[in-house]
Structure 1
Amino acid sequence: MTEISTIVLLDPLRPHVFPLEALSLLSGPILIDDDVPVSVREALPKSTPGAGVIVMMAGDDAAVSAQAEAGVHVIRAAPVQGDRVVEAASIMDRLWSRGGWEATQTHESLSVYLVEETYEVLDAIRSGDEIDLREELGDLLLQVLFHSRIAQAHNVFELDDVAAALIEKLIHRSPHLTSSGVVDIAEQERAWDELKAAEKARASAMDGIATSQPPILLAAKVRARAEKAGLSDAIDEEELERLVAQCKQADAALAGALHLLIGAIRAREADPSL
């Protein structure tokens, strides 16, 4: 039996893409593993039992690493940035297709999780814990995958449409992508704002403000939009300041009470006799 001299690993996400380095091997005998999809097997030369070159699907990293340590040449396609996002989308699709809890959700039922995950990302940023931030961004990505899958089920849009819309926006609002040299940040911001204004063509400076955000943030946004539109005089600053101060005071009082409550619950968990 011929010893394996080379392993060609195919990416499960794109098994039809053959690594460039391995193309020359197709002129000789190859052994094709049973896990390789039929459509790929049919496109390759006929499998030869006992061949020193084996084509197989990537997956068992431990076994492949052991072979590499034993001197076997391993060829694999270079990873593409974003591959794991594709894999995550595939898993989301599989979960949805099982008809369990995931398939019962709606945009509305998930909205509370979307808000909660966003605040958890903010907490991770404030803590300075990059590992925690990575995890929380993953949870936020799950929300994007989830909402996209719901829309796909209703034949409205899917994840690729979301990405395509973002790509179009980034390219259109970032003319410096095609320029060379150092980017002038002030010019970049000006171009972004001008192109955004041209895209939106809003009838009012108040159009497009997210009214679901907390009142204090909403007040800051309204002020900024009014100032940019030259309409600051429409705001009763004294009254707005009074209301914002009341809101901040109420928020601080509630936050303080909740922090005490959290501490009390932690203490009770540690010592049930309290």
Structure 2
Amino acid sequence: MTEISTIVLLDPLRPHVFPLAALSLLSGPIRIDDTVPASVRDALPKSTSDAAVVVTLDAGYAEVPAQAKTGVQIIRAVPVQGDRLVEAASIMDRLWSRGGWEATQTHESLSVYLVEETYEVLDAIRSGDEIDLREELGDLLLQVLFHSRIAQAHHVFDLDDVAAALIEKLIHRSPHLRSLGVVDIAEQERAWEELKAAEKARASAMDGIATSQPPILLAAKVRARAEKAGVSDVIDEQELARLVAQCTQADAELAGALRALIDEIRARESESR
């Protein structure tokens, strides 16, 4: 049996892409492992059972760690940033296809989770815990994957359409991407707002405001938009300030009561252990 000299590890997400460093090996005999998909095997030279070069899927060949220690050359496909996003989308698709709980969800049923996950991201930011933030951003990403998969099931759009819309927006509103040198931040912000205004072509400064946000945040947004449009004189500032103060006080009282309740529940749990 010929000793293995080289192991070529194909990327499971792109098994049809052969590592550049391994192309010269195709001129000689190769042994193609059973983990390689049939469509890829058919495109490669015929497999030779005793070849010194083994082609397999990354992490699919159990002998890789041991072989590497003995000096066997390991050639891996160059990883592409965003590969795990592709994998996450694939897992979401598999979950949906199984017809379980995931397939019963709608945009409306998931909306509460979207809001909750957003606040958990904010909590992680405020805590300064980067590991916690990473996890919470993943949970928020799940919501994007979920809503995109629901839309795909209804033949409206899919995850690629969501990404394409974002890419188009970023490129159109970021002309500095096509320039060299240091970016002028003030100019960047001005260009973004001008291009955004041209895209939206809104009839009113109030168009596009997210009315589902908490009232205090909504009040600040309405005030800012009104000032920008030059119509802030229609706002009764005293009355608005009074209502905001009432809302702020009520929020603070409720938050305090809930924190006390949380502490009480934790204390009761500790007593029952």
Q: TM-score range by the shorter chain?
A: over 0.9
DSSP-derived class of the 2:29 partner: coil
- Cα distance per residue 1:42-74 (max 9 Å; x no partner): 110000011000000112487422221221111
1:133 aligned partner: 133
Report whether the alignment pairs 1:163 with 2:184: no
1:244 aligned partner: 244
Q: Map 1:112-261 to 2 at 5 A.
A: 112-261=112-261
Deviating more after overlay: 264-273 vs 193-202: 264-273
Work out the CA distance in 1 between the residues paired with 2:239 and 2:14: 60
DSSP-derived class of the 2:8 partner: strand
DSSP-derived class of the 1:9 partner: strand
How far is 1:24 from its partner? 0.1
DSSP-derived class of the 2:120 partner: helix
Work out the CA distance in 2 between the residues paired with 1:268 and 1:92: 38
DSSP-derived class of the 1:102 partner: helix
Determine if contact 2:35/2:60 at 8 Å carries over to the other structure. no
DSSP-derived class of the 1:205 partner: coil
Q: TM-score, normalised by structure 1?
A: 0.98
Work out the CA distance in 2 between the residues paired with 1:35 and 1:249: 63
What amino acid is the match of 2:50?
Answer: G
Structure 2 stretches lacking a partner, 5+ long: none
1:20 aligned partner: 20
2:57 aligned partner: 57
How far is 1:258 from its partner? 0.2
1:110 aligned partner: 110
- Cα distance per residue 1:75-107 (max 9 Å; x no partner): 111110000000000000000000000000000
What amino acid is the match of 2:96?
Answer: W
DSSP-derived class of the 1:75 partner: strand
* Identity percentage of aligned residues: 85
How far is 1:234 from its partner? 1.1
Q: TM-score, normalised by structure 2?
A: 0.98
Count of aligned pairs: 273
Work out the CA distance in 2 between the residues paired with 1:66 and 1:166: 44
How far is 1:184 from its partner? 0.3
Work out the CA distance in 1 between the residues paired with 2:55 and 2:217: 57
Determine if contact 2:31/2:48 at 8 Å carries over to the other structure. yes
Structure 1 stretches lacking a partner, 5+ long: none
Report whether the alignment pairs 1:85 with 2:88: no
The runs of at least 4 aligned residues of structure 1 exceeding 3 Å deviation read 60-63
DSSP-derived class of the 2:198 partner: helix
Residues 247, 61 of structure 1: alpha-carbon distance in 2 compared, 3 angstrom cutoff:
farther
Determine if contact 2:5/2:72 at 8 Å carries over to the other structure. yes
Deviating more after overlay: 57-66 vs 5-14: 57-66
- Cα distance per residue 1:142-181 (max 9 Å; x no partner): 0000000000000000000000000000000000001011
DSSP-derived class of the 1:271 partner: helix
Residues 84, 109 of structure 1: alpha-carbon distance in 2 compared, 3 angstrom cutoff:
same
1:68 aligned partner: 68
2:30 aligned partner: 30
Work out the CA distance in 2 between the residues paired with 1:66 and 1:187: 56
Work out the CA distance in 2 between the residues paired with 1:233 and 1:136: 41
